[in-house]
Amino acid sequence: MKALLRWTGLLLLAIAALQLFFVARIAAMAVLAPQSTTFERSEAWRISQQKGTLRWRAQWVDYRQISDHLKRAVITSEDDGFAHHDGVDWDALEKAWAKNSRAEQRAAQQQSSARSPKVVGGSTITQQLAKNLFLSGERTLVRKSQEFVLTLLLESLLSKQRILEIYLNSVEWGEGIFGAEAAALHYYRKSASSLTANEAARLAVMLPRPRYFEKLSNSVYLSERSAVIAARMAGAQLP
């Protein structure tokens, strides 16, 4: 019994130490740009292992050097309540849960279909940033719980503007392409500050599946969804 209590105490101490480490890292991000994220490093390893070379494009730019069109487009497409929620959009999460449940029920009724139901996420920009910065891509209760804690820490220690700035500089926009500046240069041969509303909307729509849409630039869905986002962008509230 004593041994169990000792190991339990050590485990709790390790968990507390890990959270303090995350607090220190996030607090430093208020003034220092992160050099890379866990997701970027894992992608660098994957690409180098698969292709024997590293194709990598990333360049940090300040918040004011990113087009407001892109900020509005990303908020509209990914998280339209970004300026108001505390890191978790409970309404969006509930809707995603309900939609996934309906999809699973339809799949169960159509057992002859070989296709798996499409899983819809309800993650906010802050949650996506928490995952990309520190966590692996595995879907476990432990990882999701840590993501929730990190999300609250990001919202507590950083401003909304800083969260959006780090997100736009680190999010993936294609294989080995990270951040708004690299994406703007790759797709439009211009800086992120010069993106038009339509260009920004197209980049925003790519975000859930950037490597997929990088190869399908003429996708009808990409064009139609971009037009919808461009029409809604004016209503997006910037931090």
Tell me the CATH number at 9: 1.10.3810.10
Which range marks the domain in which residue 188 is found? Answer: 2-29+57-89+124-235
Residue 102 has pLDDT above 60, yes or no: no
Q: Where are the beta strands (DSSP E) in 17-84?
A: 57-58
Answer yes or no: is 226 within a domain.
yes
pLDDT digits (tens, 9 = 90+) for 202-233: 999 999 999 999 998 888 999 999 999 999 99
State how far the Cα of 78 lies from the Cα of 173, in Å rounded to an integer: 14
- The pLDDT of residue 112 is 44
Q: What rounded mean pLDDT belongs to the chain?
A: 86
Q: CA torsion, points 160, 57, 211, 180, in degrees to nearest 10? A: 30
- The pLDDT of residue 15 is 85
- The pLDDT of residue 65 is 97
| pLDDT band at residue 94 under the 50/70/90 scheme | low
User: 141-153 burial, b if ≥16 CB within 10 A, otherwise e?
Assistant: eeeeebbeebbeb
Answer yes or no: is 36 within a domain.
no
Answer yes or no: is 37 within a domain.
no
Answer yes or no: is 231 within a domain.
yes
Is the CB of residue 177 less than 8 Å from the CB of residue 183? yes
Answer yes or no: is 43 within a domain.
no
- The pLDDT of residue 141 is 82
How many domains does one find in the chain?
1
| pLDDT band at residue 92 under the 50/70/90 scheme | low
Answer yes or no: is 194 within a domain.
yes
DSSP state of 177: E
- The SS3 of residue 81 is coil
State how far the Cα of 239 lies from the Cα of 19, in Å rounded to an integer: 27
Residue 186 has pLDDT above 70, yes or no: yes
- The pLDDT of residue 164 is 98
Q: Where are the beta strands (DSSP E) in 127-238?
A: 177-178
Answer yes or no: is 81 within a domain.
yes
Higher pLDDT, 19 or 171: 171
User: Which residues, other chains included, contact 145 with Cβ-Cβ below 8 Å and sequence gap of 6+?
Assistant: none
Higher pLDDT, 41 or 112: 41
pLDDT digits (tens, 9 = 90+) for 104-152: 565 556 654 444 444 444 689 999 999 999 987 777 888 888 999 999 9
- The pLDDT of residue 214 is 92
Answer yes or no: is 169 within a domain.
yes
pLDDT digits (tens, 9 = 90+) for 195-210: 999 999 999 999 999 9
| Global pTM value | 0.86
